[in-house]
Structure 1
Amino acid sequence: MVQQSITESVNSAFQVLSSEFDRKQGKDFLIKAVRDQWKGYCFKLFKLSEAFSYLEYPCMQLIKVVKNSPLQTDEESAENHIFSLGTKLFRDGLLLQAKGQKIIQSVIDDALFIMQHQRQSFLDKKQLDLSQLSLIKDIIQLLTTNQLYRNLFEVKFIEKAQTQYRKEGRDLFRKLTIPDYLALSQQIILNEVSLIETYFERSTLLPMVSTLEQVLIADNYSAILERGFHDMLFHGLMDSLRLLYEFFHATQLVPQLKGYLTKYVRDQCKHFHAHTQEQVNGGHVSSTQQVIAVKHVVEFKVKIERVVAQAFKGNEMLKSAVKDGFDTFLNSDMKPDDSARQLALFIHKVFQKPNPASKHSQLNLSIKEAPFDTLLSLFRQLLSKDTFESAYTKFLSERLLKRKSDSRDRELTFLSLIKAECGAQFMSRVEQMYSDIDTSHEQAQKYRGGDPRKRRSVEFECEYLVLDGASWPVSQAQVAVTLPREIQEAQGQFEKKQITWMIEQCSSLLKGTFGGAESYQFEASGVQTLILLQFNGAKKEITYAQLIAATRLTDAMAQHALKILTNFHLLTQTGESFTLNDAFRSPLVRLQINKAPKSLSLAHHEEKDEGRLLEERRFQVEAILTKIMKEQKRMGHNELVAELVRRANFPVEPAFVKKRIEGLIERDYIKRAVDNVAVYEYIA
């Protein structure tokens, strides 16, 4: 009786819907009629369920007894429940008839059209039609209850969204900036998520989001990176970068992002280097411009690592991309030795005592707080660590000898960080340099507090530094210069000591009077001091030959110092003669003249150090090769070279290694294997 009543209700509803379908009165007229018939039908089912609920179980048992069939499981009894039976009859009534199938298909098409209109309203920033969405919710409930949602609706629903947003996305991509496009894409996805969670089955959520990410982001990833990645990084648009990463992570495009990030790091570093280069006399690059270039690289490294940590959530692949970018820049785009020297120069300026009178004082102050971890990271990426060590010790010696070290404790803290990378030999040299300075200061205090008779000839303030020649990067070539009489008398007290006078490392503070009235103080090097003192008294003009005879300076030392003094306008040159410039005037009372001209800046020292570095590398390569062969006894050529590259702290060229191997063979440290000439054997 119940089934008959339900069947009659289904047939009645189908007749109404069939009539409405044939009339075709409007686009949403049929869908509303289906909604109304379904809601009325459900109301009848619930009423029937309430009326017969107390009879349902006994009736079912009676039916089984009469039919002589076993008792049903809970699942089977649920199917015979009035509501379950009603939905089954309704579904069969529609799908088993051709017109019923057309009605359902028409309703689905209407629902898809409504959703297309709702999406367009969202894109046009119009209010969504809640009455239409309520209608959609009822239709989705009909489809879900009758098990039609997944098979007949869900796939088409996602496909329609894909088609619509692919078309709209192309237009939006052309009109909007990349940050705005990413933000709108996120809004589109969030809107779809909200609609699905409110009106549709949650099973649709993941495939819909995946489809939209593919259409809006993955299909345009290359253009997104080409058009907007550089600007977002350059301007530090963290929210946009975070959104970009989330999209690329969701669509498995992080490897593509890695390639662009590596290229961006390289390009930016090369831009900093090229933009700040300044060609000066002699074709060398100004040391100030080198410091500026490294400053930009350090600041950029801090910035890009913050982007990776915050916007890219510390993704390991993107961390590697940043490292690869700096590696390539430091060791391929630039010469490895140049990178090492420039980083050492920058660190020298970080630890150098600032000079307020310098025209670069603001630059020097701005780099004081350069983060140690960033400097350490750049140092670790250098291939030519030996070049860095050489340049660093040279600059350290300059700071210590000229008392221009800003903070000993701070520098020792930094050195403790790089100790593991540089090794014990480097650290022992640095520690010995500091020890020499401390010992010299102690000896100077004892000298000042000692027997006054020993100091009776010293009519000026003087401090001596005694240095260990093996630890300091200074030339140990003895130059027997003629010192001023006062210094000779003081020097006589130490003649029995086995020490070498390093005139090139000396510095002085001189007082000079010009025109009988104007007095100035000059910070001068030792060589400059010897030359200026020759003009004391009435002697105003000296020939070059007389100057060399009086001081016994080498031509190179004298010419270098004379060039600086004439450029500083303290001396004037006429042919081979030099005259003190009595007309010299300056608004400053204290002047610094012991600086080398730009043409003799960092590049000048690089040329002097290159031969020594090559010689040191030759010894190191041979020592490493010998150690490897002693450990392995027998090894192929390629394996030996690979292990050498791994252990060396500088880049090695194949031709250079080949010569060193041949040298070891000639000196009977190793030999070629009899059975294979590409294999070497250690000779005990």
Structure 2
Amino acid sequence: MDAGVARLKRILHGVDGVSFSSQEYIHLYTTIFNMCTQKPPHDYSKQLYERYKKTLEDYIKSTVLPSMKEKHGEFLLRELVQRWKNHKVMVRWLSRFFHYLDRYYVSRKLLLPLKELGTTCFHDLIFSELKTTLAAIIIDMVDHERDGQRIDRALVKDVLDIYVEIGRGSMTVYEQDFEEAFCKGTADYYSKKAQTWMLEDSCAEYMFKAEECLQKEKERVAHYLHSTTEPKLLLETLSELISKRAEQILNKENSGCRVLLLDGKTEDLSRMYRLFSKMDGGLSQVSQIFKEHINEEGMSLIKHVTDAANSRKTERKEVAGSQEQDFVRKAIELHQKHLTYITNCFQNQTAFHKALKEAFELFCNKDVAGCSSAESLAAFCDNILRKGGSEKLSDEAVEETLDKVVNILTYISDKDLFVEFHRKKLGKRLLFDRSANNDHELSLLSKLKQYFGGQFTSKMEGMLTDIATARERQTKFEAYMDPWPESCPRVDLSVTVLTTGFWPSYKTFNINLPTEMIKCVELYKNFYNENQKHRKLNWIYSMGSCNIIARFEARPVELIVTTYQAALLLLFNEADRLSYSDIVTQLNLPDDDAVRLLHSLSCAKYKILDKEPSNRTISPSDMFQFNDKFTDKMRRIKVPLPPTDEKKKVIEDVNKDRRFSIDASIVRIMKSRKVMSHQQLVTECVEQLSRMFKPDIKIIKRRIEDLISREYLERDLETANTYRYLA
């Protein structure tokens, strides 16, 4: 047997050829078989097993280990690879010779199989001595490769495969003797690199390098590391390059996340998302900065608009209006810009949609130049949908803009206030034929209905239906008036009949109309009553308009005036001069309206009437007469009334409606629950109403008290702060 082992050693050293002959193999196998199959005390199985182990150990100690200790660096690795190949050949041949011993004696005694015993010998005698050195050499080689140098990847892979093979099916040797040290070395390497890059590079450059490093580490695993190393290696790399320096990266001066957002660096933002999405809580940090940035942009926009409005107080109303339009336009642009970031850079991740929503809710619900966002949005829509508005857009652009307006509206808490302002402006567009396109009006209502429900748009839909019906009725009325009654002077009359519940409330009173107008009104009443006998007409003259011919000395001019202005001017067909009191008495006008009318005709741009004294203030002692000398280059002019502040009335109407909504919500909740605590009732009420507006807790409390006084609810006598529903 000793001769066989000696022959095997010579084969490994390339002296005696490459293999055993068949006769040599059979002779050795038979010898060992005979030694193992004799009866005690001639059974040498135990001695053979021990001799097998000693043979391997002696060979390793006498030949392999000395040769390993003579080598350094890559030469040591090459020697290790070669010696491991030789060792596997030796173990394979010896295991064949000792096969019978392996099958019976080893299995019966529960000893290590011969191949595993051979592997263990190599591990205990070689790896235990050199594992620290081997790991250090490989780590050093990998660091050189990271610095751009070429290394023998095949050699590194062969060495690391030895770690796996020696583990005998377990990754423990690979993980403990190499992977732990390698991951620590990786962390040390990238820690130093990160410190240098943070000082030298911008945020974008740093992230580019970090992503490149992660990709190279992934490739490194594919080339020579075990696949189980990949998640640990990437985690260490990410930790050193990103996780530990996340705040520094995101807030890096002159190049951090805010600067990238401000400059529209979509590629860098996409890279930031990819990197930070790999770490726990990384996206929450980015989305928080995203939210803060949007809010800062929004507040800056508000400040800009407010400052611009304050700097031109002399033209306050006109400028305020344009500034409001500018605010909405820029808010839409701001929203679109950051929505594009979410879609293109942040992969529609929920955290960023939430950040966008919260940021817009913060600044969109603040007043801008004295106007609420609800009012500004309604004015912006009016500018788009009204004839002659400053926004000259194609049909496709109008649709796109309306979509964006509705998106902004979702962030407004006082949606009911927008509805009322929009309804008021819609009424004027429809009544005075100022709507540019009926399809666009319907389109906006359709979008609002889709987002906020039918209750949101039902009244405005009714308004459009009223106008369509009124046009059909007007055609019938014109046919009814033909032929025109001889008793009535020829006057073109157009009447729009509205449903009271759909339209905003309009101020009205019983003015004394001129005879010509009274006859027209009576004629329409007769026509209407023939078709609608059970409905009563309530005339709102304040919303009417007239075209009258004023015959001045220079030439006649057609005046477009309100019904009230026309009634006042027609008084001068019967008198040359009239006092303030004469006009008020004959028309039955309240003083406020009389002052507005007379100011528009005698003190404004078009002085149709002469006033004595000739100042810009209307007083009860003033005298008025028709201005024959009036001239204008236009043959047809519109004489506007001084603008009135409708905002206060709209807010009052909305507050009144809110009280009704709160009452209805409380009763609805209590009717279903019967008994509820105060806090539960308030919470559910707020939740129900928040779709349209954000109710004030104090007002909810007052409405509860009012409902108790009206016996809809009662306080529970036994339980504090609890209410019962009274059926």
* TM-score bracket for this pair, using the shorter chain length: 0.7 to 0.9
Aligned equivalent of 1:503 = 541
Aligned equivalent of 1:125 = none
Q: CA deviation at 1:68?
A: 4.8
| Alpha-carbon distance in 2 for matches of 1:554, 1:231 | 60
CA contact (8 A) 1:522 1:592 kept: yes
| Alpha-carbon distance in 1 for matches of 2:453, 2:151 | 76
Question: Is structure 2 residue 275 aligned with structure 1 residue 243?
Answer: no
Aligned equivalent of 1:233 = 261
After superposition, the Cα gap between the structure-2 partners of 1:142 and 1:644, relative to the gap in structure 1 and judged at 3 Å, is closer
| Alpha-carbon distance in 1 for matches of 2:599, 2:111 | 107
Per-residue CA distance 1:302-344 (angstroms, 9 max, x = gap): 3333332332222223322222223333447889992333333
Alignment of 1:50-449 (within 5 A): 57=96, 59-64=97-102, 68-70=105-107, 76=113, 78-79=115-116, 85=118, 88-95=120-127, 100-101=129-130, 104-119=131-146, 121=147, 128-131=148-151, 133=153, 136-147=156-167, 149-227=174-252, 228-253=256-281, 254-277=283-306, 278-279=309-310, 280=313, 286-331=320-365, 338-350=372-384, 352-355=385-388, 360-362=390-392, 368-370=398-400, 373-419=403-449, 427-449=457-479
List runs of 5+ in structure 2 lacking aligned partners: 10-55, 168-172, 530-535, 616-621
Question: Is structure 2 residue 584 aligned with structure 1 residue 557?
Answer: no
After superposition, the Cα gap between the structure-2 partners of 1:677 and 1:34, relative to the gap in structure 1 and judged at 3 Å, is closer
| Alpha-carbon distance in 1 for matches of 2:635, 2:222 | 80
Q: How many matched pairs?
A: 640
Secondary structure of the 1:647 match is helix
Secondary structure of the 1:181 match is helix
After superposition, the Cα gap between the structure-2 partners of 1:481 and 1:261, relative to the gap in structure 1 and judged at 3 Å, is farther
Query: What is the TM-score when the length of structure 2 is the normalising length?
Result: 0.76
Aligned equivalent of 1:11 = 62
Q: CA deviation at 1:397?
A: 0.6
Aligned equivalent of 2:605 = 568
After superposition, the Cα gap between the structure-2 partners of 1:320 and 1:35, relative to the gap in structure 1 and judged at 3 Å, is same
Q: CA deviation at 1:187?
A: 0.8
RMSD: 4.0
Per-residue CA distance 1:240-285 (angstroms, 9 max, x = gap): 2222222222112223333333333333333333323424469767
Alignment of 1:592-611 (within 5 A): 594=640, 600=644, 604-611=645-652
Q: Which letter does structure 2 place at the counterpart of 1:130?
A: R
Aligned equivalent of 2:51 = none
Secondary structure of the 1:470 match is coil
Secondary structure of the 2:480 match is coil
- Once the two structures are aligned, what percentage of the paired residues are identical? 20
Per-residue CA distance 1:37-77 (angstroms, 9 max, x = gap): 2344356457768xx86x964x2334458x85548999936
| Alpha-carbon distance in 2 for matches of 1:267, 1:536 | 62
Q: CA deviation at 1:564?
A: 5.3
| Alpha-carbon distance in 1 for matches of 2:551, 2:213 | 81
Q: Which moved more, 1:227-236 or 1:588-597?
A: 588-597
Alignment of 1:580-595 (within 5 A): 580=627, 594=640
Bigger Rg over Cα = 2
| Alpha-carbon distance in 1 for matches of 2:102, 2:262 | 78
List runs of 5+ in structure 1 lacking aligned partners: 21-29, 122-127
Alignment of 1:483-502 (within 5 A): 483=514, 486-494=516-524, 498-502=536-540
Per-residue CA distance 1:458-495 (angstroms, 9 max, x = gap): 54544221223332213253240444x65444334236
| Alpha-carbon distance in 1 for matches of 2:641, 2:90 | 105
| Alpha-carbon distance in 1 for matches of 2:133, 2:456 | 83
After superposition, the Cα gap between the structure-2 partners of 1:201 and 1:420, relative to the gap in structure 1 and judged at 3 Å, is closer
Q: CA deviation at 1:392?
A: 2.2
| Alpha-carbon distance in 2 for matches of 1:157, 1:589 | 92
Per-residue CA distance 1:14-34 (angstroms, 9 max, x = gap): 3244345xxxxxxxxx11321
Q: CA deviation at 1:398?
A: 1.0
Per-residue CA distance 1:593-624 (angstroms, 9 max, x = gap): 54765xx4xxx222122223222322332233
Alignment of 1:16-31 (within 5 A): 16-20=67-71, 30-31=72-73
After superposition, the Cα gap between the structure-2 partners of 1:56 and 1:174, relative to the gap in structure 1 and judged at 3 Å, is closer
Secondary structure of the 1:635 match is strand
Secondary structure of the 1:681 match is strand
| Alpha-carbon distance in 2 for matches of 1:267, 1:95 | 61
Q: Which letter does structure 2 place at the counterpart of 1:198?
A: H
CA contact (8 A) 2:305 2:369 kept: no
CA contact (8 A) 2:543 2:562 kept: yes
- Bigger RCO of structures 1 and 2 (CA < 8 A, at least 6 apart): 1
Q: CA deviation at 1:365?
A: 8.7
| Alpha-carbon distance in 1 for matches of 2:164, 2:79 | 16
Q: Which letter does structure 2 place at the counterpart of 1:555?
A: D
Q: CA deviation at 1:446?
A: 1.9
Aligned equivalent of 1:655 = 698
| Alpha-carbon distance in 1 for matches of 2:143, 2:638 | 78
CA contact (8 A) 2:102 2:113 kept: no
Q: CA deviation at 1:186?
A: 0.5
Q: Which moved more, 1:375-384 or 1:639-648?
A: 375-384
| Alpha-carbon distance in 1 for matches of 2:639, 2:250 | 53
Alignment of 1:619-630 (within 5 A): 619-630=660-671
CA contact (8 A) 2:106 2:112 kept: no
| Alpha-carbon distance in 1 for matches of 2:175, 2:713 | 76
Q: CA deviation at 1:437?
A: 1.7
Q: Which letter does structure 2 place at the counterpart of 1:200?
A: L
Q: Which letter does structure 1 place at the counterpart of 2:272?
A: L
Aligned equivalent of 2:53 = none
Q: Which letter does structure 2 place at the counterpart of 1:158?
A: C
Q: Which letter does structure 2 place at the counterpart of 1:265?
A: I
| Alpha-carbon distance in 2 for matches of 1:513, 1:90 | 122
Q: Which letter does structure 2 place at the counterpart of 1:188?
A: C
| Alpha-carbon distance in 2 for matches of 1:111, 1:137 | 10
Query: What is the TM-score when the length of structure 1 is the normalising length?
Result: 0.80
| Alpha-carbon distance in 1 for matches of 2:124, 2:333 | 71
After superposition, the Cα gap between the structure-2 partners of 1:166 and 1:9, relative to the gap in structure 1 and judged at 3 Å, is closer
Secondary structure of the 2:676 match is strand
Aligned equivalent of 1:467 = 498
Aligned equivalent of 2:687 = 646
| Alpha-carbon distance in 2 for matches of 1:426, 1:33 | 82
CA contact (8 A) 2:102 2:114 kept: no
Q: Which moved more, 1:71-80 or 1:401-410?
A: 71-80
Per-residue CA distance 1:487-528 (angstroms, 9 max, x = gap): 4443342366653432321234566787726x8766544445
Q: CA deviation at 1:682?
A: 2.4
| Alpha-carbon distance in 2 for matches of 1:42, 1:361 | 82
CA contact (8 A) 1:432 1:471 kept: yes
Q: Which letter does structure 2 place at the counterpart of 1:262?
A: K
